[in-house]
């Protein structure tokens, strides 16, 4: 299991500011090894309770809340990462565990029993929580990411674009999914993650772009269509 505790800020910025920021970050930060010319793809399947508790906890701004998801970087991948993100005051705790493709596919179907075969206590915790509270697959979110990292305070800056989702298919490994856009295509999600405090040169770089802090997550954006119709 990997366990990370850090602060995390999310913003919406327009494409022009995203290009400006990318150009200014390149000389002072390391690009993620997976970036490539167009970044890299991320696809996540989110789980929630029958009453969508995690969704509502986020929308209501509760100080203590969680998200559970499966994440892959290619439909051809032979593994998936099971992740739990927990909000704890100003910090985000993210724990993750690598699952085989076969076990991840069973989780996509709502069968959490494969987690009982992993020795890591995190797997047992996830199984107990997801089984006892009747967690169900709810939405798949896909987007492209460009990431930049700095050694100081483990700073990580990401730019996420082409954010799309589906609530009609939970096959995380499908070659193609019936996705619909959930974010204005002229906007990019800027995420800034760090330990301790954000260094002054990073603050100066971020001040060069206009931005508004996001109060909702990609998961909430994905669910907003169907849940708004229920309302």
Q: What is the mean pLDDT of residues 90-112?
A: 96
Q: Distance (Å, rounded) from C-alpha 135 to C-alpha 53?
A: 10
Contacts of 71 (CB under 8 A, 6+ apart): 42, 43, 44, 45, 80, 81, 83
Q: Which of 77-86, 152-161, 220-229 has the lowest mean pLDDT?
A: 220-229
Element (H, E) at 218: helix 218-230
Residue-level length of the chain: 231
Q: Distance (Å, rounded) from C-alpha 116 to C-alpha 123?
A: 7
CB 181 within 8 A of CB 164: yes
The b-or-e profile of 39-71 (16+ CB within 10 A means b, else e) is bebbbbbbbbbeebebbbbbbeeeeebbbbbbb
Is the pTM higher than 0.95? The answer reads no
Q: Distance (Å, rounded) from C-alpha 189 to C-alpha 130?
A: 29
Q: What is the SS3 assignment for 208?
A: coil
- The CATH number assigned to the domain holding 6 equals 3.20.100.30
pLDDT digits (tens, 9 = 90+) for 4-31: 889 888 888 999 999 999 898 888 888 8
Give 202: exposed, middle or buried? Use CB within 10 Å, 0-12, 13-18, 19+: buried
DSSP bridge partners of 68: 47, 84
Split at pLDDT 50, 70, 90, the class of 197 is: confident
For 177, the domain range is 2-230
First to last CA, the chain: 39
Please give the tally of structural domains in the chain: 1
**Percent residues over pLDDT 90 in the chain:** 62
Contacts of 176 (CB under 8 A, 6+ apart): none
């Amino acid at each position: 299991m990997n366990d990370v505790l850090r602060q995390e800020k999310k913003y919406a910025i327009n494409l022009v500011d995203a290009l400006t920021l990318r150009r200014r970050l390149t000389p002072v930060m390391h690009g993620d090894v997976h970036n490539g010319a167009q970044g890299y793809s991320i696809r996540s399947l989110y789980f929630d309770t029958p009453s969508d508790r995690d969704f509502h906890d986020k929308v209501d701004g509760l100080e203590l809340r969680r998200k559970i998801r499966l994440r892959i970087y290619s439909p051809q991948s032979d593994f998936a990462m099971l992740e739990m993100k927990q909000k704890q005051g100003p910090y985000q705790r993210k724990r993750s565990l690598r699952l085989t493709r076969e076990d991840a596919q069973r989780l996509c179907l709502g069968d959490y029993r494969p987690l009982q075969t992993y020795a890591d206590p995190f797997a047992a915790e996830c199984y107990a929580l997801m089984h006892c509270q009747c967690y169900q697959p709810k939405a798949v979110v896909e987007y492209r990411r460009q990431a930049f990292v700095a050694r100081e305070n483990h700073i990580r800056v990401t730019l996420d674009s082409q954010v799309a989702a589906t609530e009609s298919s939970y096959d995380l490994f499908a070659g193609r999914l019936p996705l619909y856009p959930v974010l204005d295509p002229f906007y990019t999600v800027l995420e800034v993650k760090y330990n301790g405090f954000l260094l002054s040169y990073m603050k100066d770089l971020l001040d060069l772009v206009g931005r508004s802090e996001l109060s909702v997550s990609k998961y909430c954006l994905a669910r907003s269509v169907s849940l708004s119709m229920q309302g």
